[in-house]
């Protein structure tokens, strides 16, 4: 007995692998500091929780229409105006989390043999869903000298007649990088010139520290060739609620809805009403989160740069740093994978090797600063102390 070979195309997320190891250490009585998982420490806003409870009590526990309740789809479309995107409810499909929309979009847009441009380093699920759909990931680098903005010239150089889709993730996981307006304009021109789809992952779109909020779909002509993937997990601390969505041309929404019917039926109704409250209620919770994350970002960047052999750029968005630890690796002779493994096993600090996000992540670690400030301070102390001891015996 064996599984279908298509399952062999799927990769995984090391964040969950490391989280599982961290939980095992905690079960043994160790105090593990969690810098591996991208989950905001802040609680789901009370008015969102209350809306979910109220929906349950009102009996909103039955099937919803497959693309999502109309009120939520309309609210999502209205919320996108802050990014300059003009959309209506007919352009929106709601899914139980952003990943189902990534899968749906990949299967809807990619033919076997198509090439798909994916960032490296980048969220590993992109390449996974591309392979599952029969496509071939073609990796493009980021510009570390510009705080990991997209390397537009390198992207253009990788376009071939088989290129079908360009995957963008802005702000970016694992680096926190963003694109300048000029970057977006050049990428839009590239997509039009080569007739490419854009799969724009904007789950960190509101977690920016420069006050900007944009989308490539807002540029002229781009809404007809862009699928936006977004969700509520990061912005509203709703990771366990599982609520995401896609925004796409209206003609694509109909066959995508058919796919959702075949795959998911619908997203939990009461969860959708919680999402509606998140979008239409006070946004103070989002502003407070961004302010708290900015403080934690500065704390972590400052602390990492104080460690001998570590260089850390200041991310412009999301809640990750991607420090270059090659100075430590050169002195000690270990790899970034071994460094991350030993920091967990010996310093009880969970973070990820940069190679968990692709070959170009070599020499880096990914650090999530979504957790509490006290834990971040303690983690920086542990990392600095442990790296110092490692270098001393090397």
Q: Whose CA is closest to 177, among 366, 337, 379, 383?
A: 366
Residue 331's contacts (CB-CB under 8 Å, 6 or more residues apart) are 309, 391, 394
Based on the fold, state whether residues 371 and 235 are members of the same structural domain: no
Verify that 27 and 57 share a domain, yes or no. no
Q: Please check whether residues 52 and 37 belong to one and the same domain.
A: no
What per-residue confidence (pLDDT) applies to 36?
96
Residue after which a domain boundary falls, among 226, 246, 280: 280
Same domain, 50 and 38: no
Domain end residue (candidates: 231, 251, 280) = 280
28 and 50 together in one domain: no
CATH of residue 165: 3.40.640.10
Backbone angles phi, psi at 349, to 5 degrees: -125, 115
- Cα gap 244→261, rounded to integer Å: 16
Residues 201, 318: contact at Cβ < 8 Å? Answer: no
Nearest to 93, CA basis, from 297, 213, 234, 231: 231
242 plus 319 within the same structural domain? no
Can you tell me the distance from the alpha carbon of 321 to that of 367, in angstroms, rounded to the nearest whole number? 5
Structure tokens at 207: 């977690």
pLDDT at position 132 is: 96
Concatenated DSSP letters of 280-342: HS--HHHHHHHHHHHHHHHHHHHHHHTSTT-B----SBTTEE--B-HHHHHHH---HHHHHHH
How many angstroms separate the Cα of 219 from the Cα of each of 168, 169, 224, 250, 363? 15, 16, 10, 17, 36
- Using DSSP bridges, classify how beta strands 349-350 and 163-169 pair: parallel, antiparallel or unpaired: unpaired
CB contact at 8 A, 16 and 333: no
Q: Same domain, yes or no, for 188 and 146?
A: yes
365-368 β-sheet, strand order:
320-321, 365-368, 352-353
Angle between helices 269-280 and 46-57 (to 10 degrees): 140
- Number of structural domains (the chain) is 2
Same domain (yes/no): 160, 239: yes
User: Could you give the count of Cα atoms lying within 13 Å of 48 in the half-sphere of its Cβ?
Assistant: 25
Residue with tokens 């839009």: 188
Beta-strand relationship, 320-321 and 244-247: unpaired
Does 268 lie in the same domain as 124?
yes
C-alpha pair distances (Å), 22 with each of 16, 345, 368: 10, 9, 15
The kind and range of the H/E element at 139 are strand 136-140
Indicate if 382 and 316 belong to the same structural domain.
yes
User: What are the pLDDT tens digits along the chain (394 aa)?
Assistant: 889 988 888 888 899 999 999 999 999 999 999 999 999 999 999 999 999 999 999 999 999 999 999 999 999 999 999 999 999 999 999 999 999 999 999 999 999 999 999 999 999 999 999 999 999 999 999 999 999 999 999 999 999 999 999 999 999 999 999 999 999 999 999 999 999 999 999 999 999 999 899 999 999 999 999 999 999 999 999 999 999 999 999 999 999 999 999 999 999 999 999 999 999 999 999 999 999 999 999 999 999 999 999 999 999 999 999 999 999 999 999 999 999 999 999 999 999 999 999 999 999 999 999 999 999 999 999 999 999 988 777 6
Same-domain check for residues 57 and 166: yes
Q: Which CATH number goes with the domain that contains 350?
A: 3.90.1150.10
Please choose, from the candidates 68, 131, 148, 209, the residue with its C-alpha nearest in 3D space to the C-alpha of residue 361.
Answer: 148
User: Quick check: helix, strand or coil at residue 70?
Assistant: helix
- Residue linked to tokens 């990392």: 383
228, 258, 280 - which closes a domain:
280
pTM, two decimal places: 0.95
Do 92 and 204 belong together in one domain? yes
Q: Give the residue numbers spanning the domain of 32.
A: 5-43+285-393
User: Alpha carbon 391 to chain centroid distance?
Assistant: 33
């Amino acid at each position: 007995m064996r599984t279908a070979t298509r399952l062999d195309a799927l990769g995984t997320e090391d964040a969950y692998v490391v989280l599982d190891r961290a939980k095992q250490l905690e079960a043994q009585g160790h105090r593990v500091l969690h810098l591996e998982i991208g989950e905001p420490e802040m609680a789901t806003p009370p008015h969102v929780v209350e809306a979910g409870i109220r929906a349950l009590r009102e009996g909103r526990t039955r099937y919803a229409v497959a693309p999502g309740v109309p009120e939520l789809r309309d609210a999502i479309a209205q919320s996108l105006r802050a990014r300059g995107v003009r959309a209506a409810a007919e352009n929106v499909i709601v899914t139980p989390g952003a990943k189902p929309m990534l899968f749906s979009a990949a299967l809807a847009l990619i033919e076997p043999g198509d090439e798909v441009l994916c960032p490296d380093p980048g969220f590993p699920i992109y390449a996974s869903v591309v392979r599952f759909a029969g496509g071939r990931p073609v990796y493009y680098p980021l510009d570390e000298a510009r705080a990991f903005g997209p390397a537009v010239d390198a992207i253009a150089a990788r376009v071939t007649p088989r290129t079908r889709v360009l995957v963008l993730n802005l702000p970016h996981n694992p680096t926190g990088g963003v694109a300048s307006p000029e970057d977006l304009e050049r990428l839009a021109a590239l997509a039009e010139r080569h007739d490419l789809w854009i799969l724009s992952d904007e789950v960190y779109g509101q977690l920016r520290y420069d006050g900007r909020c944009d989308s490539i779909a807002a540029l002229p002509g781009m809404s007809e060739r862009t699928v936006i993937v977004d969700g509520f997990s990061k912005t509203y601390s709703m990771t366990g609620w599982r609520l995401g969505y896609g925004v796409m041309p209206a003609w694509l929404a109909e066959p995508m809805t058919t796919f959702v019917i075949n795959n998911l039926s619908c997203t939990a109704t009461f969860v959708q009403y919680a999402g509606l409250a998140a979008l239409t209620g006070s946004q103070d919770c989002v502003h407070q989160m961004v302010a708290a994350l900015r403080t934690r970002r500065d704390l972590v960047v400052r602390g990492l740069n104080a460690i001998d052999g570590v260089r850390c750029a200041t991310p412009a968005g999301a809640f990750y740093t991607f420090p270059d630890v090659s100075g430590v690796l050169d002195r000690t002779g270990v790899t970034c994978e071994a460094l991350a493994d030993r920091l967990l096993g010996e310093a009880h600090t969970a973070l990820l090797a940069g190679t968990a996000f692709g070959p170009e992540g070599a020499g880096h670690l990914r650090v999530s600063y979504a957790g509490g400030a006290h834990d971040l301070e303690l983690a920086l102390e542990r990392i600095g102390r442990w790296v110092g001891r490692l270098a001393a015996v090397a």
